[in-house]
Chain A
Amino acid sequence: MIKGKFIDNLPKVYGIYTGGFLVFIILMAIAEQAGMSAKLIGIFFVAFTVAIYAIIGYLSRTVQVDAYYVAGRQVPTVFNGMATAADWMSGASFVAMAGGIYFKGYGYMALLVGWTGGYVLVASLLAPYLRKFGCYTVPDFIGTRYGGNVARLSAVLVLTVASFTYVTAQINATGTIASVALDIPFGIAVYVGLASILLCSMLGGMRAVTWTQVAQYIVLIIAYLLPVFWISNKMGAGVFPHLMLADEVARIAELESQFGLGTVKNSAADLATVPKGLAGITKAHSEVNTTPWKFISLAVCMMAGTASLPHVMMRYFTTPSVKAARRSVGWSLFFIFLLYSSAPMLATLSKLSLMDPNLATGIIGKSIADVQALDWYQNWNQANLMFVSDFNGNGTLELNEFFMGGKAVVLATPEIAGLPYVISGLVAAGGMAAAMSTADGLVLAIANALSHDLYYKIIDPKAETAKRLIVARVLLVIIGFAGATIAALEIQGILGSVIWAFDFAMSGLFFPLVLGVWWKRANAQGAVAGMLLGLASGTAYLIWVRTGGAGFWGVTQLTFGIVGSLVSLVSMIVVSLMTKAPDAATQKMVDEVRVPSGKTVLGKQH
């Protein structure tokens, strides 16, 4: 009833939505001038946006299998690009990335290259072929292409390990933001975050997640770009920061050497007084500060991981055609590029506004007492994200005496640069949107794999539609709660577990997926060996390095996917060649996948 019309009217619907959101920002700005408290503005921003997502989720409810699993395969190219970008850019991209660049500079930017370069692999190696296949989930492809429940189960296992590692980090991020914005304890905020995530996805599955993700992309990109442009213009650094910050980058290098970066070091006793999780600048901003192999190995892991993470891949199952899937990857990357290319600019602006003594906001070189009296310093010090200490006792703040948490670069820079609080509220809403959209996609990917591949395909193939969808929803809630419970324990940081998720996915799924399309001779035995041995060896390497192992080839705990995927590739080829070639029907299936025209391999309803 609404559906056909809704798809035709998408640009209009989201145009009105964007306009409405801008009006809301202006209203909040007026309210701030009229004396509304910062706390209340933050609550309004987060509550208002989450309420909208929940309404979209409710309106997209469905009782149809293909709407629940693949949004009815009618999401237009550009909108699928936006949804993928939101799906992709997590709390880590939004909140932590600029911070990472701020502290580590060039070496850290390997993540920027890796998290974008992977899309070339997605577009050329996988997405169009999996779309032609017509599967609902990634294990659905593995299970049908290779045949047999063992292959299907192995794929479910890898998917669950990788996505679950990822999702705890995202629920953690929604909890952090909800606790700051709504002023509630983290342990409760985690469940508030979870409730909002489930509101979006439970009733409508993939269809609901798609349309909320588009809405979330619009919020998060406005929330990221507006402060970057605003701060740049306010500082007089350039109207269009991306093309005009070269002088600022050079100025930072000059200040770094002037303030003795790298020569003045903190003693271990001094550092022990710094609160956990905070860091000072120890790496140069724009200088090449890492070995080529370190940079490249990290980028390679992120790229192969991108092409194996199921929550991204399944977004391309929702397009109307193979051609649309291919183009949609391009749009996804374009929308991601808008944010990623801005992160280094934000890091530059943030660093300069803190460091440059010629700017009113600069604090390095000022007296410690003055800095401690600043409003924003007190706020963020209280939030445990900022710290100064007069180690050398000279009364002025040196570069090595100022410490900040990674999240603070995105969350606090607007306030430091003197922007009105309404911008900080907007940034909180953006961070919430980024973390929620990714968590939604991940929880759905896991629950769908378990309900479709494990329950329907293996346990009860005769289950009726209504029962299948109930099982899917129950699993969604269970997975969500399990994720939130682990997130509440706060075992690891957000960024570390995100990187691990990529390595897990790459270890177990990259080669079984790619060779499933590109190598006809690959068979079930080979694929199972590839998935299980890849995952096992990657995990073993991680544990070994974590428990003090030396490692080899310079592969660290952040790049263990290199070991896992190599084992996966070798074992898959060896075992495939040692066992029987796939039968004629399977070979024909691969042939069909390779041409865009004709029917999908799996039927519309399966």
Chain B
Amino acid sequence: MSKQQQHWEKTRGLLFITLAIWFVFSIGIFFFGAEMESSSIRPFGYPLSYYMTCQGSLGIFVILIFWFAGRQEKIDEEFGFTEREDS
């Protein structure tokens, strides 16, 4: 397998992990709105359903993108595909 194919394989792997986490917090948990509302987990005292919709998922997305960017940079570096600074 060529260097480029390996690079793409890893990139795709990272994509699937990222999208899986994204799916859980943007779609998955909202199948369980009622369960979240009656849950005893109450971040800062808010009902869990309310908290996830107005802060929780949103914050997780921000962190997820930065984490994704960092991982992708590592993959690019590993295969020597990082851009030159001046380009």
Q: Which residues of A contact B (CB under 8 A)?
A: 106, 109-110, 112-114, 116-117, 119-121, 123-125, 128, 242-247, 249-250, 286-288, 290, 292, 295-296, 299-300, 303, 321-323, 326-327, 329-330, 333-334, 337, 340-341, 343-345, 591, 594-597, 599
Contacts and interface: CB of A to CB of B under 8 A. Distances in A.
A295 B37 CA distance: 15
Given A120-B65, A333-B65, A344-B54, A596 B82 contact: yes
Interface in B28-83: 30-34, 36-37, 42, 44-47, 49-50, 53-55, 57-59, 61-62, 64-66, 68-69, 72-73, 76, 80-83
Nearest to A595: B81
A125 B16 CA distance: 10
Contact of B33 (A292, A334, A341): A292
Interface of B: 4, 7-8, 11, 14-15, 18-19, 22, 25-27, 30-34, 36-37, 42, 44-47, 49-50, 53-55, 57-59, 61-62, 64-66, 68-69, 72-73, 76, 80-84, 87
B22 A597 contact: no
A116 B30 contact: no
Tell me what chain A mostly uses at the interface: helix, strand, loop, or mixed. Answer: helix
A334 B69 CA distance: 14
Contacts of B45: 246-247, 250
Contacts of A322: 83
A242 B46 CA distance: 10
Given A322-B83, A597-B83, 16 more contacts: A106-B50, A112-B54, A116-B62, A117-B22, A117-B26, A117-B61, A120-B64, A124-B22, A128-B72, A244-B44, A288-B34, A292-B30, A321-B87, A341-B55, A344-B55, A594-B7
Given A119-B65, A341-B54, A288 B81 contact: no
Contact of B15 (A124, A292, A340): A124
Given A106-B33, A124-B68, A321-B83, A286 B58 contact: no
Nearest to A299: B26
Contacts of A295: 30, 33
Closest 6 CB pairs of A and B: A246-B45, A117-B26, A344-B54, A109-B53, A288-B33, A330-B65
A43 to B, nearest CB: 35
Contacts of A286: 46-47, 49-50
Tell me what chain B mostly uses at the interface: helix, strand, loop, or mixed. Answer: helix
Given A292-B31, A295-B30, A323 B73 contact: yes
A124 B12 CA distance: 10
Contact of B4 (A116, A299, A337, A591): A591
A280 B66 CA distance: 41
Contacts of B8: 594
A113 B18 CA distance: 16
A321 B25 CA distance: 29
Contacts of A591: 4
Nearest to B7: A595
A107 B59 CA distance: 19
A330 B62 contact: yes
